[in-house]
Amino acid sequence: MSSNSEFSVRVEGLGKRYLIPHRHKTAGRMGEIAAHLREFFPFMGRDERDFFWALRDLSFEVKPGEILGIIGRNGSGKSTLLKILSGVTQPTTGRARLRGRVGSLLEVGTGFHPDLTGRENVYMSGVLLGLKRQEIAAKFDEIVDFSGIEQFIDVPVKRYSSGMYVRLAYSVASLLRADVLILDEVMAVGDATFREKSQRNIEKLASDGKTILFVSHNERAIRNLCHTGVILQEGESVFQGTADDAVTKYRQLLHQYDISDVKEEATRWDLAEAPRHHASGHRVISWISLHSADGNETNLFRTGEPMMVRIGFKNSKVDKPYFSVIIHNEFAEAVATVNSTHTGKPLTAKTDGVIECLIEDLRLGEGSYYLMVDFGFYGGNRLTTTSYDCIANAATFRVDLNGYVAGNGLDSFEGAVHRSRWAVSPLV
Amino acid sequence: MTEVRVIENQRHFGFGLLEVSRRLELLWMLAQRQIASRYRQMLLGVVWAALEPLGQLLMLTLVFGFLLKVDTAGYPYPLFAFAGLTGWWLFSRNLMAVAGSLQDNMSLISKVYFPRLILPLAASVKELFDIAVMVGLLLIVSAIYGYLPDFKVVVLVPLLLSAGLLSLGIGLWLASLMVRFRDIRPMLGLILQAGMYATPILYSPSLVPERFQFAYQLNPMYWVIELSRWALLDKPVVIAAPFYWSLGVSAMILASGLLVFSATEKIAVDVQ
């Protein structure tokens, strides 16, 4: 094989812009109409302000048998990318090449008509996705079997439960003999059993040399299923690598973490100018420091021993405040939430001061952790918390298991540490 | 070596018929789906297809035949009107269906790719099916009035087909324009109504003054309707120069409609 034939999907400099003529209101209705006309007649001249780039200069390559996960927040360009690759819409710049037959499932149940029976809809959506009738007939039993709704196959789909509907629709698409399969958020369908079944199916397709492009918000699904990952942010690729790394990086991006600028040795952090997690406008938390039980500053803690967090605050005008310390692991998963409301006693923290939080026994596994600090109002009729100031990645520390539990130990992503007793008794 | 599909911004455009020919199965299934969903959910499915036009015919006969006593040169009014209405119904319904085909199927075209031209074509196939039911009815009514159909009725096939193609051409133009300008849809009903009175459906074309006849006969639907009457009632018709003109115009509308549609369907999803 030549090097050219190795790719299954190759995307080069792909970009897509949309016309949004409503942006500058000054021109009024006539300006809007003129902008519409400019789309048709390029010679009328175009205004760059009328356009919005949903996807910009994206390049990546996928090999046969690879499952690529595409992650990104809402509006990051994921769906636009899949729409371009499935041919629904055209790119403005660049090009994509896909080898072999492309099957896409941008929405479960595309082309299903409620008045037609399950059988008719299987044929309808199969033909819609580009199969021949005989091909569907050959696979029909397998499709029905996979969906598990044999007895209802001749009932109009409008009488199906939503679960049945979705299972049938997914079965059709997943059993397509496509060389490249484009899936958008499909893992969210069906119950756990069905999800597992479809996951196995996807894995089998990949081991048969098919290529799968998979979009999901579900980080777990991406990590379990995909080999590689691409993170999209505001239409641009910000990371490409293994699926595990992509998920971790994505979580860090979500929580504004940047591992590279964490000062490993620091024990006290000035937060007056730190970026805030949300734009409430309040800047109450001014610094944070970490201490061991004896009061000395440190960033190395031992499992089962105390940890003290001191938070400096300024200009607090909240009557009934709360402070909260949320600990994330390296995958940016929250592993512990320690809240001042847990004491059951009201707190007063007016104007300026320092609040001290003593965690009596830190039951975290071995690894590095990131601390998020939250401050706000706690109260009202239903005792809810309203955040005023929140800083993600306010502090960093490491935890050493230090023999708290024996054996193979416990890492930061395995949850809380518990000491346990185990006993075996003979069968009665 | 498997085929590599290249996706990029395409500027070329054509009629798009070659692509459609590769997916005829889909075209047929979409048409079938529309036909089936119309006739299946209604108990009297096919009966309704006949009752609606018959009811309309009855009302028109009462007003124009009995009250206004429109001159039909001796032909029974219900048959005279029905012969004209059949072609017009095909034209107007197909026009509406084709014009709305992109928007009505937005949920489909924004999720899966197939040649978009299939949608208006499927709509046309469905309308042709409906009109076949109507023609059967027309032949029965005609026999009841003593006009037994002879071999000339086969002319109805190319006549109705040409009415279908003309409305397809205009419909494709409208569907393309409606991608950006939805205002067209509410105007359509009014325009079609005007078109109905500008065509000799409910009255005899001899009512139109001689000096307007040339312009009047440029309307392709004039010929569809007058020739239908010739085929069914043996009503004399003179093929004049405007006939050839209208043929040329229809062909141009269809060709340009296909071109415009193939250019605009590419952005239809983006501006929904």
By C-alpha distance, the chain B residue nearest A112 is: B108
Q: Which domain holds residue A314?
A: 264-414
Q: What are the angstrom distances between the C-alpha of A211 and each of A181, A205, A206, A302, B272?
A: 6, 8, 6, 46, 31
pLDDT of residue B44: 67
> A351 lies in a domain?
yes
Residue-by-residue pLDDT tens, chain A, 428 positions: 444 458 889 999 999 988 776 555 555 667 667 766 666 665 565 666 677 888 999 999 999 999 999 988 888 888 889 889 988 888 989 999 998 888 877 777 677 878 788 888 888 888 887 888 888 898 899 888 888 888 899 988 888 887 788 788 878 877 777 788 888 776 566 677 777 787 888 888 889 888 999 887 777 778 888 999 999 988 899 899 998 888 888 877 776 655 555 556 788 888 888 888 877 778 899 999 999 988 889 888 999 899 999 999 988 888 889 999 999 887 778 899 999 988 888 888 888 889 999 999 999 988 888 899 999 988 878 888 888 899 888 888 988 888 888 888 888 888 889 989 999 998 87
Name the residue with higher pLDDT: B207 or A170. B207
Distance between CA atoms of residues A400 and A366, nearest Å: 5
- The DSSP secondary structure of A304-372, one letter per residue, reads TS-EEEEEEEEEE--SSEEEEEEEE-TT--EEEEEEGGGGSS-----EEEEEEEEESS----BEEEEEE
- Maximum distance among all Cα pairs of chain A, rounded to whole angstroms: 90
> A33 lies in a domain?
no
- Clarify whether residues A160 and A289 are in a common domain: no
Q: Do A127 and B29 touch (CB under 8 A)?
A: yes
The total domain count for chain A is 2
- A117 DSSP assignment: B
Angstroms from B141 CA to nearest CA on chain A: 33
Q: Which of A69-83, A251-265, B28-42, B119-133 has the highest mean pLDDT?
A: B119-133
> A39 lies in a domain?
no
First to last CA, chain A: 65
pLDDT average, residue stretch B52-62: 89
Helix ranges, chain B (H)? 17-22, 24-40, 45-60, 77-99, 101-104, 106-109, 118-144, 156-180, 184-197, 213-217, 220-233, 241-268
- Clarify whether residues A64 and A166 are in a common domain: yes
For residue A211, the chain B residues in CB contact (below 8 A) are none
Distance between CA atoms of residues A57 and A55, nearest Å: 7
> A150 lies in a domain?
yes
The domain segmentation of chain B, as residue ranges, is 17-268
Angstroms from A14 CA to nearest CA on chain B: 9
- Clarify whether residues A201 and A309 are in a common domain: no
Instruction: To the nearest 10°, report the CA torsion of A111, A113, A118, A119.
Output: -70
The CATH code of the domain that includes A92 is 3.40.50.300
> A77 lies in a domain?
yes
> A40 lies in a domain?
no
- Clarify whether residues A273 and A232 are in a common domain: no
Nearest CB to B26: which of A113, A128, A179?
A128
Distance between CA atoms of residues A117 and A168, nearest Å: 11
Q: In what order do the strands lie in the sheet with A384-400?
A: A300-302, A384-400, A367-379, A321-328, A334-339
> A425 lies in a domain?
no
Q: Name every residue in A having a CB less than 8 A away from some CB of B.
A: 5, 18-19, 36, 39-40, 83-100, 102, 104, 106-107, 110-111, 113, 115-116, 120, 123-124, 127-130, 132-133, 179
The residues near B137 (Cβ < 8 Å, ≥ 6 apart) are: B50, B53, B54
- Clarify whether residues A170 and A227 are in a common domain: yes
- Clarify whether residues A231 and A268 are in a common domain: no
Q: What is the ipTM of this complex?
A: 0.77
By C-alpha distance, the chain A residue nearest B40 is: A115
Which residues share a beta bridge with B98? none
The residue out of A254, A276, A299 marking a domain boundary is A254
- Nearest alpha-carbon partner for A318 in A380, A382, A371, A393: A380
- Clarify whether residues A220 and A325 are in a common domain: no
- Clarify whether residues A292 and A391 are in a common domain: yes
Tokens of residue A427, six digits? 């069968």
- Clarify whether residues A250 and A274 are in a common domain: no
pLDDT of residue A2: 41
The residue out of A195, A228, A254 marking a domain boundary is A254
- Clarify whether residues A275 and A219 are in a common domain: no
Q: Name every residue in B having a CB less than 8 A away from some CB of A.
A: 1-10, 23, 25-26, 29, 33, 36-37, 40-41, 107-114, 180-181, 266-267, 269-271
Distance between CA atoms of residues A94 and A16, nearest Å: 9
**CB of A246 within 8 A of CB of A228?**
yes
Q: Do A97 and B5 touch (CB under 8 A)?
A: yes
pLDDT of residue A225: 85
The CATH code of the domain that includes A290 is 2.70.50.60
Identify residue A32 by its one-letter amino acid code: E
Whole-prediction pTM value?
0.74
pLDDT of residue A3: 46
Instruction: Give the distance, in angstroms, between the CA of residue A315 and the centroid of all CA atoms in the same chain.
Output: 36
Torsion sign across C-alpha atoms B163, B56, B73, B137: positive
The residue out of A223, A254, A285 marking a domain boundary is A254
> A420 lies in a domain?
no
User: Helices B24-40 and A118-128 meet at what angle, rounded to 10?
Assistant: 150
Helices (H) and strands (E) in chain A, counts: 8, 18
Distance between CA atoms of residues A316 and A375, nearest Å: 10
- Clarify whether residues A213 and A283 are in a common domain: no
Check pLDDT > 80 for residue B247. Answer: yes
- Clarify whether residues A219 and A287 are in a common domain: no
Distance between CA atoms of residues B16 and B35, nearest Å: 24
pLDDT of residue A240: 92
